[in-house]
Structure 1
Amino acid sequence: MDRWERGRREYTAMMGSAPEQALAGLRRQSPELFDAILEGFGGPIARTELSRTARELATVTMLAALGGAEPQLAVHTAAALRNDVTPAELRALAEHVSLYAGMPRALNALRVIDEVLAAAGTPAPATLQRVRLADHETVVARHGESGPPVVLLHALGLGWRMWEPVMEQLARTRQVYAYDLRGHGAAAGAPTSFTMEDAAADLFGVLDALGLEQAHVVGLSYGGGIAQTAAVARPERFASLALLGTTDHAFEAFEGRARSAEEEGMAAQIVPSLTRWFTPAALAVNGPGVRYARELVLRADPADWAAAWRAFKGVDVQGRLAGFEPPTLVLAGELDASCTPEIMKALAGRIPGATYQELPGTPHMMSLERPDLVAAALDAFLPFAS
């Protein structure tokens, strides 16, 4: 395979169409420049030291910083989406450009990025609201303008964005909120000596700040422990409860995970966490959900991580939801190695009237690996605006 043929192959893979089709006008205007582009794609761009995803991230950033290259920026923004760059990552690139190349170029780049995202049918980003709670501040994200309010509580070590693919579907007929739990994301650095009851009080503080007397509360893993603790304390604030891959009692491993971060650092948490959260296939593909989780674990403060695990170690709600009346969904992942279907079935059995459902081929971090199945299950369970 010569360099030009390699260039045609690489261009088609990255850009989504054959160069003879995409660059037909250029080929008529200047066959030499057309050949030069193919030579570039068959040379440096075809090298594997940088992945196609990384190359498109770099290209979008350079074109945005350069300025005056908006048509090319639009083409490469679309190519970035094709090569597994997420809308959130593209918007973050515009923010990054503002620091190094100036606000005007960042704003111009953001306009192009938003136009490409809109043309691709990508929903607008969540509306963000800062909320002051008793002893810290957090950020609440919202998708949807009307309908029943739904509040999503994320897993330990992650943040509200782990719900974003699910939020977009649920928000078609609902107001859907997610916030950073204390010690995570925008709420990092909150006091590190706290209990599950404190985290439950944070949920009530968020509901109060949003003006919600009741909400449909959904919690995954650690978020499910907080949701149960809150449901025991103030069941009248719940319109319904959905528990995903969680537990109503502590596991022996919780303290060990706290100590490991304190003694070995966050890099040592990557392998045990991600192999517990995702399937081998998802880890091999290394898609956006896996990359997001890896980055958040790696960047976490060991003190915040340890504090959350020690709070979770104090979860004590087993059997205490026997009188809980709102509709309850218990959602298990068939391949969940942390909160197995057996654990989830037992949990459902301790909540009279709870509905148990098992998602096929789904691991612990279900909203990141199988958001389609999670969204479908929640969509069927939750009420919606007519």
Structure 2
Amino acid sequence: MAAAVAVRTAVLGDGRPTLPYAEAGGPDGAPVVLVHGYLDSWWAFEPMLRRMPSALHAYAPTQRGHGDADKPEEGYGPEDFADDLVAFLDAVGLGRAVLVGGSSGGVQARIVAGRRPDRVAGLVLLGTPAELADKPGVAELWERVRTMEDPVDRAFAEEFVRGLTAAPVGRGFLETVIDENLKAPARVWRETLRGLIETDLRATLTGILVPTLVVWGDRDPLLPRTDQQTILDTIPDSRLEVYEGVGHLAYWEAPDRVLRDLAAFTAGVTLPG
């Protein structure tokens, strides 16, 4: 039976944007917050949300500038997203949670884990880069995005999304993801990517002392194994799960396995009773 997925709104206050978020799982389950990556929305985690076991209580916010969230004129660096994430924890009444970062969403998740360990019981990084400035594919993407204007070309958005997986993904789901990507205006495409490239992402790996699970697909077209090894070498209490035959987005291609690993990991960390 598919889990019920409720969509709600979080008012962050203090001049911060209002964010829609999806919620699923058991009301008494361990709190986990799913943090989407570049251009996505909470919909990126829909395959996981509709399978969410009762042992977990998941929250998946759409971040500023993305999907149906507010789109302020500025504030699209990793630090801005990290600050919003702490404000989101406050808004939904979560004292401590496991943060699950998908792709570049793991950057803001790990910033929070390093700076606010009082709010983070554990960290899960799903295909998250150690750094991006050294990736040729990112440089090519930047050349196309830096001069982008509205409206964003749908064919380009589809090309971007389709290149991330090793196995085919359901057409309906893919179309929804593309629709969500296109809700981000060109300036959000540009400034969010600029923030990821210009930030010293390796520095955001330091100071993380919470238990960390790293998930990497061995057919990831963006991230080599050496990139993930950098994460393991920098975060003391970390371990790697390799998904054979899976591309960049394990939470699309192998959501059941991700949930099993997430449930087992969460059961082993200390959360509020």
C-alpha spacing 1:323/1:233, structure 2 compared with 1 (3 Å)? closer
Among residues 162, 166, 171, which one is paired with 2:48 in the alignment? Answer: 166
Taking a change above 3 Å as real, the CA distance of residues 288 and 174 of structure 1, as seen in their structure-2 partners, is same
- 8 Å Cα contact 2:10/2:91 also seen in 1: no
**Mind listing any 5+ residue stretches in structure 2 that lack a counterpart?**
none
Q: Could you say which residue in structure 1 is the equivalent of 2:22?
A: 141
SS at match of 2:168: helix
Deviation at 1:124, TM superposition (A): 2.3
Task: Identify the match of residue 77 of structure 2 among 190, 195, 200.
Answer: 195
Partner residue of 1:99?
Answer: none
What corresponds to 2:6 in structure 1?
126
Aligned to 1:213: 95
Give the partner amino acid of 2:74. Answer: T
> After the TM superposition, which of the residue ranges 201-210 and 299-308 deviates more from structure 2?
299-308
Which residue of structure 2 lines up, in the alignment, with residue 278 of structure 1?
165
- Residue matched to 1:303: 187
User: TM-score under structure 1 normalisation?
Assistant: 0.62
Letter paired with 1:140:
Y
- 1:330 is matched with 214
Pairwise CA distance, 1:353: 2.2
Across the aligned residues of Structure 1 and Structure 2, the Cα RMSD in angstroms comes to 2.5
The whole-number CA distance in structure 1 between the counterparts of 2:104 and 2:204 is 17
Match of 1:376 among 242, 260, 263: 260
The letter for the 1-side match of 2:142 is E
Query: 1 CA distance for matches of 2:150 and 2:6?
Result: 37
1:35-50 equivalences under 5 Å are none
Question: 1:139: Cα distance to partner?
Answer: 1.2
Q: Give the Cα separation in 2 of the matches to 1:165 and 1:263.
A: 30
SS at match of 2:188: helix
Contact 2:98/2:266 (8 A) holds in 1: yes
Larger CA Rg, structure 1 vs 2: 1
Q: For residue 265 of structure 1, what is the amino acid of its counterpart?
A: V
Compute the displacement of 1:138 (Å): 0.7
Structure 1 residue 356 displacement after superposition: 0.6
User: CA offsets, 1:193-233, max 9 Å, x none?
Assistant: 43211110000000111122211000011211111222232
Aligned length: 263
- 260 and 363 in structure 1: CA distance in 2 versus 1, 3 angstrom threshold: farther
Q: In percent, how many aligned pairs have the same letter?
A: 30
Residue aligned with 2:223, SS: coil
Report the Cα offset of residue 332 of structure 1.
0.4
Kindly provide the amino acid, as one letter, of the partner of residue 347 in structure 1.
I
User: Which segment drifts farther, 147-156 or 130-139?
Assistant: 130-139
Task: In structure 1, give the amino acid aligned to 2:20.
Answer: V
Q: Could you say which structure has the greater relative contact order, defined with CA pairs below 8 angstroms and 6 or more residues apart?
A: 2
Is the aligned partner of 1:228 residue 2:110? Answer: yes
Q: Of 242, 257, 261, which aligns to 1:358?
A: 242
> 2:42 and 2:171 mapped to 1: Cα distance?
18
Distance (Å, rounded) in 1 between the aligned partners of 2:94 and 2:252: 27
- Runs (5+) with no aligned partner, structure 1: 1-120
**In structure 2, distance between residues paired with 1:287 and 1:193:** 33
Question: Aligned in 2, Cα 1:322/1:195: closer, same or farther, shift over 3 Å?
Answer: closer
Residue of structure 2 equivalent to 1:16: none
Tell me, yes or no, if the aligned pair for 2:97 and 2:122 is still in contact at 8 Å. Answer: yes
Preserved contact between residue 68 and residue 183 of structure 2 (Cα < 8 Å): no
Superimposed CA distance per residue, residues 164-204 of structure 1 (whole angstroms, 9 cap, x where no aligned partner)? 22134444112210100111112142233432111100000
Give the alignment partner of residue 256 of structure 1, picking from 143, 163, 187. 143
Q: Name the counterpart of 1:118.
A: none
Question: What is the rounded CA distance, in whole Å, between the counterparts of 2:255 and 2:202 in structure 1?
Answer: 28
- CA positional deviation for 1:372: 1.9
Deviations 1:38-79 (A, max 9, x none): xxxxxxxxxxxxxxxxxxxxxxxxxxxxxxxxxxxxxxxxxx
Deviation at 1:142, TM superposition (A): 1.3
| Secondary structure, aligned partner of 2:32 | strand
Higher helix share: 1
Q: CA deviation at 1:299?
A: 4.2
**1:261, distance to aligned residue in structure 2 (A):** 3.1
Q: Which has the higher strand share?
A: 2
Q: Which runs of 4+ in 1 moved over 4 A?
A: none
